[in-house]
């Protein structure tokens, strides 16, 4: 009986959103909460789950296999596929969160991009920031959570670790593969990288 009730509620919610103009390619695979709010001209691809307290603005695209809970998605945002948006997250207008990205308790600024394979937690990210693939905010030291602040127009190179608490000031660049533990000044390049070693004519030992 419980399963039947859940199915009935979901069908009712799906029909409500379809009637309001939400575009769903596979509505039977999308799961809503009763308090989900969705604006105009929104597209939801198959296999998306909305937890409690999710608010979606206008002209938003949510791609397949994404999970959202207790978050606010503003206008003209593109999200997913395979994105996880956790509680207390705000995606500002025109921002983009791509595949295999997890965002928790963070604000992603206008027109900023976290395109793939990244974790952003306890962070405030400004406008027009690019977060490269494989970037993580190291926000937990085993005892407490700390904040990462990334100001406007910052470029974070791929596979970087940002060790909180830390501030990356505006118009700066973090080189790929860096572990950043100190604040980065405005309009500067920060990188931490060991020297590449190359041994000529190297032969592996035979066991």
**Residue 190 in tokens:** 């920060």
Distance CA 197, CA 188 (A): 27
- The gap from C-alpha 22 to its chain's centroid, in whole angstroms, comes to 22
DSSP-derived 3-state class of residue 173: strand
Distance CA 135, CA 126 (A): 16
The neighbour count for residue 107, using CB atoms within 10 Å, is: 18
**Cis geometry, peptide bond prior to residue 68 (ω within 30 degrees of 0):** no
Residues annotated catalytic, as ranges: 116
**Residue 104 in tokens:** 């928790």
Element (H, E) at 11: helix 2-19
DSSP-derived 3-state class of residue 14: helix
End-to-end Cα separation, the chain, in angstroms: 64
């Amino acid at each position: 009986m419980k399963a039947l009730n859940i199915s009935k509620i979901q069908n009712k919610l799906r029909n409500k959103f379809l009637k309001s103009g939400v575009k769903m390619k596979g509505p039977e695979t999308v799961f809503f909460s009763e308090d989900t709010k969705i604006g105009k001209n929104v597209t939801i691809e198959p296999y998306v789950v909305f937890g409690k307290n999710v608010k979606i603005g206008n002209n938003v695209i949510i791609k397949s296999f994404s999970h959202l809970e207790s978050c606010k998605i503003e206008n003209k945002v593109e999200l997913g596929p395979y994105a996880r948006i956790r509680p207390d997250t705000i995606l500002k207008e025109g921002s983009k969160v791509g595949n295999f990205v997890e965002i928790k308790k963070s604000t992603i600024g206008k027109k900023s991009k976290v395109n793939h394979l990244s974790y952003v937690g306890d962070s405030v990210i400004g406008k027009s920031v690019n977060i490269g693939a494989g970037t993580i905010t190291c926000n937990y030291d085993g005892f407490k959570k700390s904040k990462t602040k990334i100001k406007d127009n910052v470029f974070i190179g791929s596979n970087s670790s940002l060790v909180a608490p830390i501030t990356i000031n505006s118009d700066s660049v973090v080189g790929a593969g860096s572990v950043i533990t100190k604040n980065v000044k405005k309009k500067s390049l920060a990188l931490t990288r060991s020297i590449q070693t190359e041994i000529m004519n190297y032969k592996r030992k035979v066991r």
